[in-house]
Amino acid sequence: KGYALNWVLTPLMEKNSLMRLYRVMHYLYKKKIPFFPGFISRLIRVIYSCELPPSVQIGRNTLFVHNGLGCVIHQDAIIGDNCKIYQNVSIAGRNNRGVPVIKDNVMIGCGACVLGGVIVEDDSMVGANAVVIHDVPIGCTVVGVPAMVVNKWKGEIDLLNE
């Protein structure tokens, strides 16, 4: 009785299954196939409580921890490779000031907001509940409201193998 439901839901609850659905959705969007990208976006909204439009550009090996629970991503946002994004993160516009660009190897802590046309440079970390409204330099850690630099890293960090 419950086997059919379990067969359908189990793949959707695996680690980073959100990104698998995103890749299919984005591929269909780039090929201009109607209906399906919007349908998958709504499916992602219902299953994962994550607002992830088909037009978002997300790089390789990016991980949404907890399958992007509560994340809201702007439709024009760009997220680089090897990023790690925790739950309840907002990457959004700010009063027509552009949208964020997240470069490679960036970690964004839970509840953080990256707002406006800011650039979060490579190898940076955004602390939990930080509100980023200014650019983040390479290899820095920012925390607070508004986010301020508290630490500068000397080398690269490996976010996926912590």
The whole-model pTM stands at 0.84
Q: How confident is the model at residue 20, as a pLDDT?
A: 85
Alpha-carbon gap, residue 148 to 133, rounded angstroms: 10
Indicate the DSSP class of residue 50: -
The amino acid that residue 63 corresponds to is L
pLDDT at 105: 94
pLDDT in tens, 97-153: 889 999 999 999 999 999 999 999 999 999 999 999 999 999 999 999 899 998 776
pLDDT of residue 97: 84
Bridge partners (DSSP) of residue 85 are 64, 108
Query: What value, to the nearest 5°, has the Cα angle with vertex 145 and ends 141 and 150?
Result: 25
Token pair of 12, please?
Answer: 């959707």
Give the pLDDT band (50/70/90) at residue 54.
very high
Q: What is the largest CA-CA distance in the chain?
A: 56
Cα–Cα distance measured from residue 63 to residue 67, given in angstroms and rounded to the nearest whole number:
8
